[in-house]
Amino acid sequence: MARPSLQARCAGLAIPLFSLRGRRDAGIGEILDLVPLLQWAAGFGQRVVQLLPINETGPGEASPYNALSAFAIDPLYLSVHAIAGAPPVGAVGPRDGVLPRDAIRAAKLGALAAAFVAFRRTRSSPEWRRFRRFSAAQRHWLDDYVLYRALRERQGAESWEHWPAELRQRQPAALTAAAAALQPRLEFLRFVQWRAAEQWGAVRRAARQCGVWLKGDLPFVISRDSADVWARQDEFDPDYSVGAPPDDFSASGQSWGLPMYRWPRVRATDFAWWRLRVRQASALYDLFRIDHIIGFFRTYAIANDGRRRGFVPADESAQREQGEAFLRAVLEDSSAALPVAEDLGSVPAWVRAVLHQLGIPGYKVFRWERDPHQYRDPRQYDPLSVATTGTHDTDTLVEWWAGLAADERAQVLALLGSEPEREAAAAMPLPHAALLERLYQAGSAFVIVPLQDLLGWRDRINVPATPSHQNWNWRLPLAVEELAGDAAVNAATATVAGLLKAAGRSWQ
């Protein structure tokens, strides 16, 4: 399919991959579960399916924004049942509402190890040649990743910052010796990533057949304990963490515990690492969200001792120059995919002006698009935008309405054409269809709505700045293959299909 057009006026749904449920999954959403999801979404006029990051995370980590590789797909998501030679992996159920990611990953890697033993006997096959071509084509990230993963296993999952000095400092002789000693494991880890890439390719082909665009998500930075930071230590400052100043989510600001960029060094490479990430995103997706776009203009840095914090660069002219240089690099390497900037929160107007100048869409979240005493009409939204009801960090539409003050409910209802008294507004149920109808009438090129909001469900993905075990653990209540046969779901999707058609957003 061609690159998504800003003149397309289309709609989509958003759901994390881990939230899918398939008839044959092992306890978490899997790559091949996307195929029936795409087919189902296309059936009621959706043109985009938006995901959260799919990169591998470390033990005990649930957030997809704290990965140990910017490139590796998490083995957690592999559909092992579709891989020749892999023994069955039984479904592992949640424990106290928490997805047992570590147990599922371990079970899948065990099954994949058996599949790899069988695969190694086929060294003269076309499949083996495809594997070797993949390994060669991806070596710019794959070689460092597999060595990091194997060393991390050998070191008992200890952070690379605590490895022996010769490995921590990446002394060439030590790396060569380690690679030789760990060669069988390195080859296996390459095999795992190749199988993930092969399955993702099948999803891409299915998406093209359905006429649906895939939208991915690129986190602003990577985990401190990651293959990328270990391999590019000169581009990250270990004495500072990235965070956010005080905002609506946190009155005291946030420290994300993620490593700070050494921006002068990053600039000296002409954003080489990010260019590689953008190229990979362009191969995996049709659109991709760049998280925390303000951070590329000015990064909120917090010293590890907590004594120093502030924006880097500090000067506005330097911020503008740096951010624009980064975005031009993104555009140069995004090929057939469309970048979308996450420009929510406290973002200066001049940042959005730069995005507009470069033709990069930002976001319009209905609940935040408001003036002191009224909500802005979505029909007036900038065409160069993605409109939505909420994000993975907000409560769902149902929960938002339940917590909305009577005055604010009245403002929403006034926008939708009715003006009840304050007391009556306080008792009125969520005007679900009317709200979606107005959003689909938005001036925005894209309207992408979380699946929970499309179907009127309450389930939330994440509460920022909280350690709640409920974060990043929600899954569909029924298998993707069963969505089309559920009466309540069918009623909701029929309504959505009608709204899309009336708004000129149904691509069918």
**pLDDT tens by residue, 315-334:** 999 999 999 999 999 999 99
Structure tokens at 15: 């759901």
Q: Which of these, 452, 369, 325, 494, lies nearest to 19 by C-alpha position?
A: 452
Q: For position 249, what pLDDT does the model report?
A: 64
Mean pLDDT of 384-412: 97
Query: Higher model confidence: residue 497 or residue 335?
Result: 497
Distance (Å, rounded) from C-alpha 485 to C-alpha 477?
A: 13
Q: For position 251, what pLDDT does the model report?
A: 72
Mean pLDDT of 284-300: 98
Number of H helices, E strands in the chain: 19, 14
Cis amide linkage into residue 313, ω under 30° from 0: yes
439: helix, strand or coil: helix
Residue type, 327: L
DSSP characters over 127-145: HHHHHHHHHHHTHHHHHHH
pLDDT at 440 over 70: yes
Q: What pLDDT digit, counting tens, does each position of 38-91 carry?
A: 999 999 999 999 999 999 999 999 999 999 999 999 999 999 999 999 999 998
| Ranges 356-360, 422-426, 452-456: which has the least confidence | 422-426
pLDDT at 253 over 80: no
Contact (CB, 8 A) for 86 and 104: no
Mean pLDDT of 85-106: 92
